[in-house]
Amino acid sequence: PPLLALLCLGAADRPNPDPDRDPDEPWCPYKVGGDGAAGARLCFRPPARGFQCSARGCRSHRSAGGALVANVLRNGSVLLQWGLRHWGPPPPRPSASLRGFALNCSWDGTYTRFPCDSVELGAACRDYLLAEAHGSVRYRLCLQPRYAPPRPAPPAQCVEFRVEPAAMRDIVVAMTAVGGSICVMLVFICLLVAYITENLMSP
């Protein structure tokens, strides 16, 4: 976490590969570590400023304290957003005391809960993209700020959600359309049989 805090302060000096992005805006440094994985790489990502979760292609899930929001997108990815004001009063010097954030992920299996990748994020980070989430799996993500001593770390805030598989949704829509067409055809067949029975066949 101290290294992430220092890198966060110097992230604005990195070259800007996105010409449409403000060069003075700090990048988000983060490090992903799996189950007992060593030597995780340090990565940088631009923040998703101004993102709005639309009702047609996104569903929002908020933690009990309101600090963490999981925006589940239609393509199966999840954009996490958070703010510090829901974790209590700010410290006198936020930039000097905030070291970063710790994100822990887990998901429910058939008989037990499995851990996902844990992520360490810099102090400038306010969002994180979970690019590939498994469909029909209930996720639980917990985020906790890390402060410099002597201030203790506040309790983590957690959010739970389930990602709807896009393939299954398309199959359900297709089956509904086919079933409706079959029902309409059966109605016409029944009407045709009734007409033939009543008018064309001899008594």
* pLDDT, tens digit (0-9, with 9 covering 90-100), for 98-123: 899 999 988 887 667 787 878 999 99
User: Residue 68's pLDDT band (boundaries 50, 70, 90)?
Assistant: very high
Tokens of 95: 């930039």
Give the pTM: 0.65
User: Residue 92's pLDDT band (boundaries 50, 70, 90)?
Assistant: low
Give the separation between CA 128 and CA 123, rounded to whole angstroms: 13
What pLDDT sits at residue 21? 47
Has residue 159 got a pLDDT over 80? yes
Has residue 170 got a pLDDT over 70? no
Has residue 16 got a pLDDT over 70? no
Has residue 17 got a pLDDT over 50? no
How high is the mean pLDDT of the chain? 76
Which DSSP category does 131 fall into? -
What pLDDT sits at residue 50? 81
**pLDDT (mean) for 35-44:** 67
Give the separation between CA 5 and CA 8, rounded to whole angstroms: 5
Helix (H) or strand (E) holding 28: strand 28-33
Give 169-172 contacts, CB < 8 A, sequence gap 24+: none
Contact 49, 19 (CB under 8 A): no
Which DSSP category does 154 fall into? P
Higher pLDDT, residue 101 or 164: 101
**pLDDT (mean) for 91-102:** 72
Which DSSP category does 12 fall into? G
Query: Dihedrals φ, ψ of 126, to 5°?
Result: -130, 5
CA distances from 66 to 73, 96, 103, 156 (A): 19, 24, 16, 11
User: Residue 37's pLDDT band (boundaries 50, 70, 90)?
Assistant: very low
